Structure 1
Amino acid sequence: MMTVLTTADDATARLREVLGERLFAAGDDGYDAARQTWNLVTDQRPFAVAVPRTDEEVAAVVAAAAASGLRIAPQATGHGAGPLRGADLGDTVVVSLREMRGVTVDAAARTATVQGGAVWHDLLAASSPHGLTAPHGSAGDVSVVGYTLGGGVSFYGRAHGLAVNTVRRVRVVTATGETVTASADENAELFWALRGGAGAFGVVVEMTIDLLPYADVFAGLLLWDGSRAGEVARAWAAWTATAPETVTTALRVMHFPPVPELPPFISGRSVVAIDGAMLEEDAAAAEILAPLRALGPEMDTFGRMPAAGLTGVHMDPPEPSAAVSEHAMLTALDEAFVDAFVEASFAARPMISEVRHCGGALAREAADAGAVSALEGEYLFSSLALVPVPQAVPGGVAACGAVADAVRPWQGSGLALTFVDLPERDLAAGFGASAARIAALRRAHDPAGVFVSARPVG
């Protein structure tokens, strides 16, 4: 923890000189709303929350905080704030970029430039009129910057790789309060580190990424009653062994409480689902999908849809919620895996137990790779439990961990950083051979430890 060089009142006054009423200190009206993250399990209580609107304000906040001996935690939506659960942020200013959501699309260059707080819905709304889309995740309200610079596993991933490989340029406010540009041609070492290290190196205020040339996509969901989980999981595991790289899908076993907020087809039920996207013409996609459709799903939404509609396929929660999760990368699947996975999913009953098909381009390092460029493993496992009250957290952690333990014999050594959501997880495996280099660069760029990252690099 850094030593505060001035009194709390002096530090607050210095920050208010920059932002005025958009600086929320503990005890201020609006502080509780400002400090809330998307993942409500993280009840963060920082020294203050700063809500800048310009690059210049971000730089001034960082400089003022550092001058007062305070630390900085960059955040856009707080989807990835789970690892900060329980962290002492009493000497930390959360820089919330939620009012910096601008997007500019260069259709000719097939790129998008986004501000640090932009979410995928913002980008897709701007790119769709040009017949373009992006390697977004399963939810449209996630930060473009946080998701992408942490790796980014999309339903385009087996064909196009991790989203981080689309990054062309980053503007970031460093620990000195200086705003610098990082790219392959400018501050190249910092550019390498940001592609994986993200918030450990500064506050990213702008980023340019490549877009994908899809106006529409063949995508959707197949759903069965949970009693068929073993049968469906075995068929999916075998099917993925020969699925082309144009196809990226996920298998999920889900247990839903009987609440009126949920659609009737899942409320109070256990179900098994397969969803994803296929970069194929309709006839070819239908032929590839035929073995799964032959299992007679009770719901089948696969078909041609606008590319922006892909964010709704996975049915991620539309509102902030409290959840805990577990994650691991897996090697090839077999029938013993399916039996262990399904049995544990029903015995422990986290809300979601999921396996995503990776491999393909997701496993191939890019030619101009950053610190993170590929995933080590053919499949990605995750489990998630909702924890509506703090007392439910230990049980949720235990449920997710029980499924992770059951599939441990099939776990590899890799990690997908954006799926790590528990405190004090060793992230070295997510960086692989880059771990030592990125840790050294963090110490060089931020020797005083100004930046607090939910995914520290060492």
Structure 2
Amino acid sequence: MTPHPRTDAPWGDQAATSKLAGSVRGPVLAAGDDGYDEERVRYQTFRPHAPALVVGAVDDEDVRLAVEFAAAHGLPVGVQATGHSPALPARTGVLISTRRMNEVRIDPASRTARVGAGVTWQQVVTAAARHGLAPLSGSAPHVGAVAYTLGGGLGLLARRFGYAADHVRQISAVTVDGRLREIDADHEPELFWALRGGRDNFGIVTGMDVGLVPVERLYGGALYFDGSLAEEVMNAWLDWTTGVPEEMTSSLALVPLPDLPSLPPPLRGRYVVHVRIAFLGEAGEGERLVAPLRALGPRLADTVRILPYTESGTIHNDPVPPAGYSGTNAMLSGLDADAVRRVLSLTGPDAPVTSIVEVRQLGGAMGRAPEPANSVGNRNAAYLLAVLNRVTPETADTVQTAHTRLTDTLAPLTTGRSLNFLYGAHATPDQVAMAYSPDDYRRLQRLKAVWDPANLLRHNHNIPPADAPR
């Protein structure tokens, strides 16, 4: 492939823009146009994308034409559906909005879902449930299925079934040469390996086939404890995770809840410990497994029960309204009592910046390479610790400094980063590189040099081509 000239200059070729607008079915919008802000500002409202042009794609051909246009003019390209895991914001170039590409098709015989680039997990969950099936969706049903999966996809059933990326069977993607390619283990296998874990660095995905699992219900929900028990509950939960089966996927969050009428009175305005439970097994066995956690102290709320998978989003109860936020993460070999104290001192109610912190147990099927293999890294990690804060222009630098201080103190236990939990200014190429082993990262860079040598696909969690500076 011949590299196109690279430019970050503002775009001002109205004739070329008009020609593109006359070719695609969806809208082509520039700053000041009606609908421009609606397309570029999705879930993340802090420092959102502000590209020269937004193409609201409605089908594969719109994506192909948008990529072909950008490549012909040497313009960088980004893609966005729901905007839950943004990297550094685009300030020029072309942003392809895929939210209109929201078709879901279920094949119950092969236990497969075909999901368009703009589909949310809730759509897949609802459609699959009609056939007694479930996708390997995450904690928030309103997250886009494709970007989540391409970044790995650490879901509610992950310890039993692995990462969502491990269950991708076929991908349709437009590469920077303007071709729509059908990619699987037999057709462009190296590209198939790279996309499943490398997100949108190698092509703009328009749809994919993902495997479903025969799950209709689970034993799950939440245990809420007062924040005064944070250290005790966190240490007990960490000890408890060492003995649970792979059918148990759980996490623990330290959350400063706002004083809002929408929250139940026992939780309103409190700093809480939120233990999240998702168990694939009999209710009686689930009760037995959860009993030691319930015995830790009085619960502010206890919602753990048998629930249909269609209600699995209530386990984490992630907020739905768009917000401005910043966050990062560390994948860890372990956590001990000393590390727990340091985490609480740096993020708890008495810290200069009180943060939302979540620790997810990994291992199980996530620790085993799938067949065919993919580029999802850090499979040897035992836990993922993620930190998140709401931010404004006035607080962003202070919050980022606090997050960096936390990841620095966890460095001796850190095996790497998780791509899907690197947000905004934290999503630098150096941090992205930590999502992979050194050998896999070099392989990804070599593939990037083949498929996108000019790094036009760079408004993302960017992997520069081999020999390009990071």
Q: TM-score, normalised by structure 1?
A: 0.94
1:59 to 50, 64, 69: 64
Retained in 1: the 8 A contact 2:175–2:204?
yes
Determine the C-alpha separation between the residues in 1 that align with 2:345 and 2:26: 53
Determine the C-alpha separation between the residues in 2 that align with 1:66 and 1:244: 49
Q: Name whichever of 110-119 and 25-34 sits farther off.
A: 25-34
Indicate the residue corresponding to 2:307 in structure 1. 305
Equivalences for 1:350-389 in 2 at 5 Å?
Answer: 350-372=354-376, 375-387=379-391, 389=392
Q: What value does the CA root-mean-square deviation take over the aligned residues?
A: 1.9
Determine the C-alpha separation between the residues in 2 that align with 1:100 and 1:309: 24
Indicate the residue corresponding to 1:393 in structure 2. 396
Retained in 2: the 8 A contact 1:375–1:416?
no
Q: Deviation at 1:49?
A: 0.7
Retained in 1: the 8 A contact 2:260–2:269?
yes
Indicate the residue corresponding to 2:224 in structure 1. 223
Q: Name whichever of 5-14 and 321-330 sits farther off.
A: 5-14
Retained in 1: the 8 A contact 2:378–2:435?
no
C-alpha change, 1:130 and 1:348, in structure 2 (3 Å) is farther
2:444 to 427, 438, 441: 438
1:77 to 69, 82, 89: 82
Opposite residue 452 of structure 1, the aligned amino acid is R
Retained in 2: the 8 A contact 1:383–1:404?
no
Retained in 2: the 8 A contact 1:135–1:154?
yes
2:407 to 404, 417, 433: 404
What CA deviation, in whole Å up to 9, does each residue of 1:335-370 have, x standing for no partner? 222222223221244341111111111121113111
Equivalences for 1:274-285 in 2 at 5 Å?
Answer: 274-285=275-286
Indicate the residue corresponding to 1:188 in structure 2. 189
Q: Name whichever of 20-29 and 107-116 sits farther off.
A: 20-29
Q: Deviation at 1:77?
A: 1.1
Determine the C-alpha separation between the residues in 2 that align with 1:11 and 1:5: 14
Determine the C-alpha separation between the residues in 1 that align with 2:236 and 2:322: 34
Retained in 1: the 8 A contact 2:25–2:58?
no
Opposite residue 187 of structure 2, the aligned amino acid is E
Give the secondary-structure state (helix, strand or coil) at the position aligned to 2:415.
coil
* Runs of at least 5 residues in structure 1 that lack an aligned partner in the other structure: none
Opposite residue 134 of structure 2, the aligned amino acid is T
Indicate the residue corresponding to 2:50 in structure 1. 45
Q: Deviation at 1:207?
A: 0.1
Give the secondary-structure state (helix, strand or coil) at the position aligned to 1:195.
helix
What CA deviation, in whole Å up to 9, does each residue of 1:85-119 have, x standing for no partner? 4x5x32x1100000001000011111101111111
Retained in 1: the 8 A contact 2:68–2:177?
yes
Equivalences for 1:16-415 in 2 at 5 Å?
Answer: 16-19=21-24, 22-81=27-86, 83-85=87-89, 87=90, 89-90=91-92, 92-296=93-297, 297-346=299-348, 347-372=351-376, 375-387=379-391, 389-409=392-412, 411-415=413-417
Q: Name whichever of 153-162 and 418-427 sits farther off.
A: 418-427
Q: TM-score, normalised by structure 2?
A: 0.92
Q: Deviation at 1:259?
A: 3.4
What CA deviation, in whole Å up to 9, does each residue of 1:411-437 have, x standing for no partner? 222221111112425222212131111
Determine the C-alpha separation between the residues in 2 that align with 1:435 and 1:129: 40
Retained in 1: the 8 A contact 2:155–2:164?
yes
Matched positions, count: 452
Opposite residue 17 of structure 1, the aligned amino acid is G
Retained in 2: the 8 A contact 1:376–1:414?
no
Determine the C-alpha separation between the residues in 2 that align with 1:38 and 1:243: 35
Give the secondary-structure state (helix, strand or coil) at the position aligned to 2:146.
helix
Opposite residue 434 of structure 1, the aligned amino acid is D
Determine the C-alpha separation between the residues in 2 that align with 1:228 and 1:78: 34
Q: Deviation at 1:180?
A: 0.6
C-alpha change, 1:75 and 1:21, in structure 2 (3 Å) is closer
Q: Deviation at 1:174?
A: 1.0
C-alpha change, 1:230 and 1:307, in structure 2 (3 Å) is same
Q: Deviation at 1:5?
A: 12
Determine the C-alpha separation between the residues in 2 that align with 1:405 and 1:103: 42
Determine the C-alpha separation between the residues in 2 that align with 1:400 and 1:383: 7
Determine the C-alpha separation between the residues in 2 that align with 1:443 and 1:247: 41
Retained in 2: the 8 A contact 1:350–1:384?
no
Determine the C-alpha separation between the residues in 1 that align with 2:352 and 2:251: 20
Q: Deviation at 1:15?
A: 1.9
Determine the C-alpha separation between the residues in 2 that align with 1:401 and 1:9: 43
* Runs of at least 5 residues in structure 2 that lack an aligned partner in the other structure: 465-470
Q: Deviation at 1:6?
A: 8.4
Q: Name whichever of 414-423 and 398-407 sits farther off.
A: 398-407
Retained in 1: the 8 A contact 2:46–2:324?
yes
Determine the C-alpha separation between the residues in 2 that align with 1:21 and 1:435: 36
Retained in 1: the 8 A contact 2:29–2:35?
yes
What CA deviation, in whole Å up to 9, does each residue of 1:370-398 have, x standing for no partner? 122662310000111111x3112122223
